[in-house]
Amino acid sequence: MRYTTLSTLASFSGLASALTPAQWRTQSIYQVMTDRFARTDGSTSASCDVNNYCGGTYQGLINKLSYIQNMGFTAIWISPIVENIPQSTADGSGYHGYWAQNIYNVNTNFGSASDLVALSNALHNKGMYLMVDIVTNHIAQASSRANFNASAVGAPFSNASMYHTPCDIDYSNQTSIEQCWQGSNNVALADLRTEDTNIQSLFNAWLSQLVSNYTIDGLRIDSAKHVTPSSLSALQSSVNGMHFLGEVYSGDPSYLCPYQNTITGLMNYPQFFYTTQAFQSTSGNTSTLATGINTMKSTCKDVTLMGSFLENHDNPRLPALTSDQSLIRNAVAFSMLQDGIPIVYQGQEQKFYGGSVPYNREALWSSSYSTSSSTTLYPFLTTLNKIRSWAIKKDTAYITYNAWPIYTDAQTIIMRKGNANAQVIGVFTNRGASAKTATMTLGATNSGLGKYQSVMDVVACKSFTTDSKGNLGVTITSGLPQVFYPTSTLKGSGICSQ
């Protein structure tokens, strides 16, 4: 049996055993863009032309896993690993990994197949997990769409009958989204007929080998809305028991949520949009965020199995939209502590501020991997990972308890996740760094706090006590977020010297 329980896993650490969706729930993911994370020699001075390969490798990543683990992350998601087209085109090169030409070979720019095995082993030896990004929507070729030549594609996709006829995607037409071609006339992204069972069988057979060859623990599915739902279900069944995070790029819960009936999890794109609009400026709307969170909960099968992210390699980073460090901290803390698996994209901890693709794909080594509290968010993220994993440890129900807004006003949203005496209460605001002090009272009914109960704001390590009715007076200073946790339950955690 490949998919074992957590207790068996612990005793066979390092052996092949993918994580189940329930096991992924409790992880915290750091998103690595393999070409941009670390070079084999660990050098930090190399320049990076963001349109082309910059030299990151699996060996470089292995050497820097402690940087990720010490921030509290328990898993990494890496770029697609397969051989990409070698050309440098007017659209750049395949450094990102999404331009496959042969799915049975590895992308040797990142290292050999045995280097990838070594990465997987190194992660498992540290008690960490590997999520790999896969693309089933298309095969790339450095040609115009009209000149795409299926015979020149590596096996098994060298037959023209395996592809849809080229057309431009009409995003108001789902058939067109599934059948027309992504990419451009510099790089054809030939759209595979994923509705055909022979195509599905080829991917399913490939995937079970891939998972086994590299001891993969979870999968991120690229372009999920561009393939047929039936192909997603088939892919999920081929490695049944594994967790998938599908990329359905949409802010609409009614469009996105049904995909969770085909695969176990999705990137929480609607939450990403609500969070970004709420915290990108002091005129953002926290009510839209509160409503959105509730809509996601009631529309999707299980938001606790989704990826909760604020930044990724496809969207402008939040600091490209605001330089206000208080707004940024609120957004970061909000997405780390919501339902689902937190995902932090490399460079977020370094306050990188790249805008649209490819400028949001900076080489991480330019930061020299600093962990400074004055110039990076590294210690802040470490604290957030610590309180989340402590809350999970103290109450197993924490992870499946659906977070809900227990207080909102025009510029505040207070979220509760967890049962009484083990609840995390996050106070988030978009007042901004230059705001005046604001105060509010948090009622005991919603917070679940008792009378004269002591809580710690684990961000500032400041303690507060509720009144005789269990109400908590909250003071927001400099627009900073606060994360309260019952002091008695914090004992033994080491957090804030408790």
Nearer to ligand NAG, 239 or 459 (CB): 239
- Looking up tokens 């998919």 gives 3
Name the active-site residue from 247, 311, 339, 457: 247
Between CA 405 and CA 385 the distance in angstroms is 21
Nearer to ligand NAG, 81 or 245 (CB): 81
- Looking up tokens 């010490």 gives 70
Strand partners, 78: 132
Name the active-site residue from 222, 302, 349, 362: 222
Whether the Cβ atoms of residue 332 and residue 442 lie closer than 8 Å to each other: no
Binding residues (CB under 6 A) for ligand NAG: these are 104, 149, 151-152, 159, 161, 167, 173, 175-176, 179-180, 206, 209-210, 213, 285, 287-288, 291
Between CA 158 and CA 143 the distance in angstroms is 15
State the minimum distance, in angstroms, from the CB of residue 64 to ligand NAG. Answer: 25
Whether the Cβ atoms of residue 433 and residue 446 lie closer than 8 Å to each other: no
Residue 67 tokens, joined: 């940087």
Between CA 306 and CA 89 the distance in angstroms is 35
State the minimum distance, in angstroms, from the CB of residue 229 to ligand NAG. Answer: 16
362 given a catalytic annotation: no
Between CA 190 and CA 407 the distance in angstroms is 49
Nearer to ligand NAG, 173 or 437 (CB): 173
Nearest partner of 227 among 273, 317, 164, 271, judged by Cα: 164
Between CA 496 and CA 89 the distance in angstroms is 52
State the minimum distance, in angstroms, from the CB of residue 281 to ligand NAG. Answer: 12
Between CA 112 and CA 399 the distance in angstroms is 37
In Å, what is the CA distance from 360 to each residue of 50, 61, 123, 266? 9, 19, 26, 22
State the minimum distance, in angstroms, from the CB of residue 287 to ligand NAG. Answer: 4
222 given a catalytic annotation: yes
State the minimum distance, in angstroms, from the CB of residue 176 to ligand NAG. Answer: 4
Nearer to ligand NAG, 151 or 497 (CB): 151
Mind telling me the catalytic residues?
222, 247
